[in-house]
Amino acid sequence: MMRLPDFALRLLLVAVILLAWEGAVHLFDIPAFMLPAPSSIVLALWNGIASSLYIEHLGVTLSETLLGFVFGSIVALVLGTLIALSRRTEYFLYPFIVMFQAMPKVALAPLIIVWFGLGLTSKVAQAALTAFFPLMVNTIAGLRSADEDRVALMRSLDATEWQILTMLRAPTAMPFIMAGFEIAMVLSLIGAIVAEFVGAQKGLGMLIMGMTFTMDVAGQFSVLLILSLLGLLLNSLIVYIRKRLLFWDPAQKAAAAPVEGGTL
């Protein structure tokens, strides 16, 4: 619980920084294509939203991200389960996994555009590709983390392998999988934006690229603001679901789930 004075101080800090920024831009006469003043960013944001330009492109990027997340997650869960259950599958897939793990997935974007075109498909493909790997790794780790005593208990009850998977291994894996979902969501957004950079007709990434050519830096800042809020919203959604679902996991209360790989 934060005390009120601290909260007020925090708001004050934000206000002071924004004011200093605004003042510095005017005082030192910084050109708008280098660093726009906060006021012009807000204006650009307002104009973009009012003309429904941003809303339209936001809708496109959001659907790319969500579709990419869904497809990437399905592939990750299926592959992860197959690998976790069979060492043989893992053995044969291992070289591909290692290669794929080392490769920066966003570097595939130009190729993906060539294969899938400038429309929605290529963005979804890129988002799915960027997102699926950490979730797959977490699924494997999670399914294999079942406590030996619990497995012995299930076996002593004459449980089938399928029952051990559904009643023990899958719930045990849930904290890992939820952490994987969190990472996957961030990565799908990154994948979608990168693919839009490379070639697109719609979307917030495409908008940013367009603004680069017209030197509309205030516009770019305003789109970045929208992207930040979008990322925050998607992340909060997963965190909410995770907390509801994993009420039984003591690790959830102790600390926020480890989020990694959110920087590429």
Partner 1 sequence: MEAIAVQELSKLYPTRDGSVHALQQISFSVSEGEFVAVVGPSGCGKSTLLKILAGILPPSKGEARLRGTPITGPRRDIGVVFQSPVLLPWRCVLDNVLLPVDVQRLGRDRHQKVAMDLLSLVGLEGFERRYPWELSGGMQQRVAITRALIHNPAMLLMDEPFGALDAMTREQMNLELQRIWLERKKTVLFITHSIAEAVFLADRVFVMTPRPGRIMDDVPIDLARPRNLDIMNTPAFGEYVKRIRVQFQAKGDLDA
Footprint on this chain of partner 1 (rule: CB under 8 A):
147, 149-150, 152-159, 163, 167-168, 171, 174, 248-250
Identity of the residue, 175 or 180, whose beta carbon is nearer to partner 1 in the bound complex: 175
Which of 129, 165 has the CB closer to partner 1?
A: 165
- Residue 247 CB, nearest approach to partner 1 (Å): 8
Question: Considering beta carbons, is residue 26 or 155 the nearer one to partner 1?
Answer: 155
**Least CB distance to partner 1 at residue 43 (A):** 51
The angle at the Cα of 55, spanning 51 to 57, to the nearest 5 degrees, equals 110
Minimum gap (Å) between residue 143 Cβ and partner 1: 15
CB of 168 to partner 1, least distance (A): 7
DSSP-derived 3-state class of residue 119: coil
> Nearest Cα to 184, choosing from 73, 100, 90?
73
**CB nearer to partner 1: pick between 66 and 170:** 170
43 near 218, Cβ under 8 Å? yes
- By the 8 A CB rule, do 131 and 188 touch? yes
CA-based torsion, 63, 61, 188, 262: positive or negative: negative
Give me the helix-helix angle, 217-245 and 204-213, nearest 10°. Answer: 160
Give the whole-angstrom CA distance, residue 86 versus residue 233: 37
Q: Compute the least distance from the CB of residue 81 to partner 1, in Å.
A: 19
Nearer to partner 1, 156 or 263 (CB): 156
